[in-house]
Structure 1
Amino acid sequence: MKIAIAQLNPTIGDLPKNAQKILEAAQQAVVQGARLLLTPELSLCGYPPRDLLLNPSFVEAMGITLQQLARDLPPNLAVLVGTVEENFKAHSTGGKTLFNSIAWLEAGKVQQIFHKRLLPTYDVFDEHRYFEPGLQANYFTLDDIHIGVTVCEDLWNDEEFWGRRSYTANPIADLAILGVDFIVNLSASPYTVTKQRFRETMLSHSAVRFRQPIIYANQVGGNDDLIFDGRSFALNRQGEVICRGLDFETDLLVVEFDEEARDLQLGSVAPNYECEEEEIWQALVLGVRDYVCKCGFTKVILGLSGGVDSSLVAAIATAALGKENVLGVLMPSPHSSEHSITDALALVENLGIKTTTLPIGDLMQEYDKTLADLFAGTQFGLAEENIQSRIRGNLLMAISNKFGYLLLSTGNKSEMAVGYCTLYGDMNGGLAVIADVPKTRVYALCRWLNRDREIIPQNVLTKAPSAELKPGQVDQDSLPPYDILDDILQRLIQNHQSPAQIVAVGHDPVVVDRVIQMVARAEFKRRQAPPGLKITDRAFGTGWRMPIASNWLAVKNTYQARNIPTPSLARWDGRDAHPRIK
């Protein structure tokens, strides 16, 4: 039996277009001799549909589209399609009204429905909000071959691999007991750095433990802040990868099941990336392209400061959309250094993008005149510095509104973490491209980008980073050096380490305490930031749910003042860290 894997890029809610993509994949699968076609989790509506699922008309339309798709598919091909199914017992049992389901379509109709059993509720996932869990093992028989069916998280609960169970059931173990010939998994697993190696290691362990071939079909594409990397793959009973799909691209893979050997045969194996920077670059390019296109835009605009962040965002946008669709705006002030302008113009020349220059000196003077009486007797400070950033933000938004360009904001994760950014200024935008990329990683990406030829001007990579909001200003006037700051932030935000643990590796206790306070106090800014593309396990996006009006810092200081042992800040955000991200 030949099994095809359709690695699809759906648009959330576009049921006709998504159904058409499934149909086209089915037609290609038939040409390649496939008997069974797999599509990703919720492939009919796209993942994650979020509160669209609370709209009864959306659910009804999905059911109608599913029935029509069944009639349109090639008659001799079995297709597994991700969809939702109503839970008709919800009113009597008090359960959720929907299941996250897989429909087996064949011969013009829906043959069988399978329900996802394990529903994740951590990080960006909130499936208990919408779905009732399935209670029984899912399998069907096709041409005398018994095929186990799982949905994404169903594979992420092998207690032998994790050292514990996060859910009562282990769907893989249940299917192995039933004696299925192989297991398929329809997935929508968001990208994070090095996730693919982890997936393959985890599922390889399960394949060996249960002597089960596993076929994993994953979604690809960008949906809001989430990026899906595809990289569908299959493992034989020995846990060896025998096929792998393309990275960050749609693909159709075909793998063959040998009935005598009861195993999958070697197929096409796409290579993994050689370095993390290349992987992150491809993820960000896809994320920008899909966000812009799926939101109905064709062109983008961004401010060019001559700094490393805006340079990287401009390069990503150019790769994603083409140089003709990117406008860079230079907005020098009296405080801007000469190299800021020359470096920005050198970048424009290297990328070939369009540019315009709007000096803001006169606008700054007008603000000073308007505020002169009110600000009389006060010292120049943050309010005046931030006016410059807000003038620039207003100019960029004016151009965006006038010409229908999407504004890209250029702040990095380090700045977003500690609030080193200006509301209604440099935070303006429809998409924060590198909001989950720490400053040190920004430099690493730029150096990787320059591996063959100079794209990011060398001076951008060697000069001290500065917002240039006053004469002689550099970032390190206000922040620890970025290598120190990023290590503290990594340990605090992603690794959930306590202050004591961070200090134990050699960081200054005063610096650690100050960084923690900055992170907490900047929450109100992050809440008003544009969506940022997620590339790490802990991003400031839909999975980050922190209070703004919180008094935890004052409580912590009270503990310390009274010499009472402070509760461990390993869970400083108020929640246990989940051991893994789907």
Structure 2
Amino acid sequence: MNQNLVIALAQVNPTVGDIDGNLARARAVRAEAAAAGADLVVGGELLVAGYPPEDLVLKPAFIDRVEAAVEAFARETADGGPAFLLGAPWQMRGRLFNAALLLDGGRIAAVTRKYDLPNYGVFDEKRVFAAGPLPEPIPFRDARLGVLICEDMWTAAATAALAERGADLLLVLNGSPFEFDKPDVRLDLARARAAESGRPLAYVNLVGGQDELVFDGDSFVIDASGAVMARLESWDERMAVTRWRARDGVWVCEPAAVAARPVGEEAIFAALVTGLRDYVDKNGFPGIVLGMSGGIDSALSAAVAVDALGADRVRLVAMPSPYTSRASVEDAAETARLLGAKLESVSIEPAMQAFGHMLAGLFAGRPADETEENIQARARAVTLMALSNKFGHMLLTTGNKSEMSVGYATLYGDMCGGYSVLKDVYKTTVFALARWRNRERPAGALGPGGRVIPERVITKPPSAELKPNQTDQDTLPPYDELDAILRGLVEDERSIAEMTAGGFDETTVRRVWRMLHRAEYKRRQAPPGVKITHRAFGRDRRYPLTNRFTDLA
């Protein structure tokens, strides 16, 4: 007996809290799928609410709105068009679940509740959701659907239960945030579940940015042997129709388009563009304002901003001081010219002089030190925030993960801003991204092709230029050494002994360890920014501010 099923995979970019907007996207996808003859549309995890909704789901009024909106959408499926399997927070018998709802025939035909709730890193679902039971297959047309919700695919129990209870194929609704090495992890886990169950698997992920998280899509279908039968393009809202057939009860997906997956610098750059674009647009900012120092961090941040928003929404501001070199002034101007963005200039020397006069009596008899350097950084922050307040543009800060790790940043100075696009990007990766962007124009970029960052910006020694002849390496180890140590201490939580056993100089490791732990109070006050690693500062890595533990013995 031959059976057929047409399943549309809907890779959607929701906005947390925008129930009507998210369901409008779902309706548009359903109409497109209906025109293609689909029987079923599969969307991502918590599509109705947006992901992650955090404590928003604890508001009864919000859950009531979700329920009413889903029930209204369910009634629309009485039109003979495709059913829709989508994610929503759902209340049952006084308990709130992360659920997948099958809308079919004008009603909510089935509900699957997430069994395995993640409670690590950026995930704290046990805080707001109850865990569901092991899932049961859902009868649909001629098939029995095995529905998993994100983390349910990461572990084996839910898949085993579905296979034992007769599921024909596995459908996985995901809200899986991007990390630069995560796509292979997802595919390996999907292949493990397919192999264990002997079933094909369709994986549907969200796409887009939500606060610090970015979702890359990368939705796919694999057969029971793990071969990729279809893959949607990453970093873009997409709908793909897949055709399934069964012979003697064994379901297979016919081969479809398999999009290439971005890797390396291409994937990281796409994550930065997506995170910034959606943060700015979803929060209703007209654009961004950014301080241009002539250095590589501000140049790369400007390039990402222009690619994400277009040059007309990016306001670049140079703020020279008496210590700003002529080369930096020229490099800031040349970067703006290459990007096609306007550059304005505001000298901070009058502010420096004013603060000098204000504080002269209190500082009498004391030599100049980092205090005066920090006043310069804070004068720039006040200038940029004034422009942000006056014109409505969000201030984009430009610090990178290397600097934030060791506190090489001025609180209320260069840390000031509404968003930090390089927050989780080490300095060595900043250099790599700048070189990559000069070679490649990303898909969908609104910025120009060709070189966008002057070569001198990439090759000159990095400097804060807060005093004469200053370079970062006056204070920090070389960045290739610093970043390697930080990856061990931050990402891998390795001890000083383990680091030195791995070949690093013990004195340098100890110095970096001290700087890392002393800077925790600064990081607590840093703006949000795009997460690209598995151990980003913030919700991934939460250390106490008052902390007497030491690894220096």
What is the TM-score with the length of structure 1 in the denominator? 0.91
**1:141: which partner in 2?**
139
Cα distance between partner residues in 2 of 1:539 and 1:82 = 27
Q: State the distance in 1 between where 2:473 and 2:259 align.
A: 43
C-alpha displacement of 1:538: 0.5
Tell me if structure 1 keeps the 8 A contact 2:208–2:215: yes
* Equivalent runs, 1:95-110 vs 2, <5 Å: 97-110=95-108
- Give yes or no for the alignment of 1:497 onto 2:494: yes
Give the counterpart of 1:151 among 149, 152, 157: 149
- Is the partner of 1:500 in helix, strand or coil? helix
Matched with 2:57 is 53
CA–CA separation in structure 1 for the residues paired with 2:464 and 2:423? 17
Q: What's the secondary structure of 2:148's corresponding residue? A: strand
Q: Aligned ranges for residues 328-343 of structure 1 at < 5 Å?
A: 328-343=316-331
Q: Deviations over 1:149-194 (max 9, x none)?
A: 1100000014xxxxxxxxxxx1111111122110100000000102
User: Using the alignment, how far apart are the partners of 1:363 and 1:516 within structure 2?
Assistant: 35
Trace 1:284-295 onto structure 2 (pairs within 5 A).
284-295=272-283
**What SS does the corresponding residue of 2:17 show, helix, strand or coil?**
coil
Q: CA offsets per residue over residues 77-121 of structure 1, 9 Å max, x none? A: 211111112142x5xxxxxx3111111101111111110000000
Cα deviation, 1:121-143, whole Å, max 9, x if unaligned, reads 00000000011111122321111
Question: What one-letter code is carried by the residue in structure 1 that aligns with 2:229?
Answer: I
The one-letter code sitting in structure 1 at the alignment partner of 2:457 is V
The 2-side partners of 1:5 and 1:138 are apart by 22
1:30 alignment partner in structure 2: 34
Residue number among 421, 426, 446 corresponding to 2:434 in the alignment: 446
C-alpha deviation, 1:495, in angstroms: 1.6
User: How many angstroms does 1:309 deviate by?
Assistant: 0.2
Structure-2 separation of matches of 1:299 and 1:144: 51
Q: Where does residue 396 of structure 1 map in the other structure?
A: 384
Q: Which residue type is aligned with residue 252 of structure 2?
A: D
Aligned counterpart for 1:547 among listed residues 522, 544, 547: 544
Q: How far did 1:542 drift?
A: 2.2
Aligned to 1:264: 253
**Matched residues in 2 for 1:107 and 1:262: separation?**
24
One-letter amino acid of the structure 1 residue matched with residue 85 of structure 2: L
Counterparts in 2 of 1:53-452, with a 5 A limit? 53-73=57-77, 74-88=79-93, 97-158=95-156, 170-260=157-247, 261-273=250-262, 275-451=263-439
Equivalent-residue separation in structure 2 for 1:101 and 1:137 (angstroms) = 11
Q: Distance in 2 between matches of 1:337 and 1:422?
A: 20
* Structure 2: distance between partners of 1:369 and 1:508: 45
State the Cα RMSD in Å: 1.1
Cα deviation, 1:15-63, whole Å, max 9, x if unaligned, reads 0011111111111111111101101000001000011011110011100
Alignment of 1:520-539 (within 5 A): 520-539=517-536
**Is the Cα contact below 8 Å between 2:58 and 2:128 reproduced in 1?**
yes
**Match for 1:106: what amino acid?**
D
Measure, in 2, the Cα distance between the counterparts of 1:377 and 1:507: 42
- Equivalent AA in structure 2 for residue 144 of structure 1: D
What's the CA shift for 1:205? 2.4
CA contact (8 A) 1:215 1:235 kept: yes
Please tell me whether the aligned partners of residues 38 and 81 of structure 1 are also in contact (alpha carbons under 8 angstroms). yes
Cα distance in 1, alignment partners of residues 349 and 81 from structure 2: 70
How far is 1:541 from its partner? 2.5
Letter in 2 for 1:75: G
CA contact (8 A) 2:160 2:196 kept: no
Displacement of 1:68 in angstroms is: 0.8
**Identity of counterpart residues, as a percentage?**
44
Distance across 2 between alignment mates of 1:212 and 1:465: 54
Q: Distance in 2 between matches of 1:353 and 1:207?
A: 50
**Displacement of 1:336 after TM fit?**
0.6
Alpha-carbon distance in structure 1 between the residues aligned to 2:49 and 2:29: 16
Under a length normalisation based on structure 2, what TM-score does the superposition of the two structures give? 0.96
Secondary structure, counterpart of 2:388 in structure 1:
helix
CA deviation after TM superposition for structure 1 residue 344, in Å: 0.4
CA distance in 2, matches of 1:352, 1:203: 44
**1:498 positional shift:** 1.6
Task: Decide whether the 8 Å contact of 1:313 with 1:410 is kept in 2.
Answer: yes
The alpha-carbon deviation at position 76 of structure 1 amounts to 3.5
Deviation at 1:391, TM superposition (A): 0.1
Asked if structure 1 preserves the Cα contact closer than 8 Å seen for 2:10 and 2:44, the reply is yes
Match of 1:572 in 2: none
For residue 252 of structure 1, give the secondary structure of its aligned residue in structure 2.
strand
Contact 1:532–1:541, Cα closer than 8 Å, also in 2: no
Task: Give the gaps of 5 or more residues in structure 1.
Answer: 91-96, 159-169, 561-582
Contact 1:298/1:325 (<8 A) preserved: yes
Range with bigger deviation, 312-321 or 536-545: 536-545
Q: For the residues of structure 2 that align with 1:206 and 1:137, how far apart are their CA atoms?
A: 15
Look up the match of 2:24: 20
Contact 1:407 1:431 in 2 (8 A): yes
| Alpha-carbon distance, 1:395 to partner | 0.1
Q: Distance in 1 between matches of 2:80 and 2:204?
A: 22
CA distance in 2, matches of 1:194, 1:130: 28
Q: Shift of residue 224 of structure 1?
A: 0.3
Q: Which amino acid aligns with 2:91?
A: E
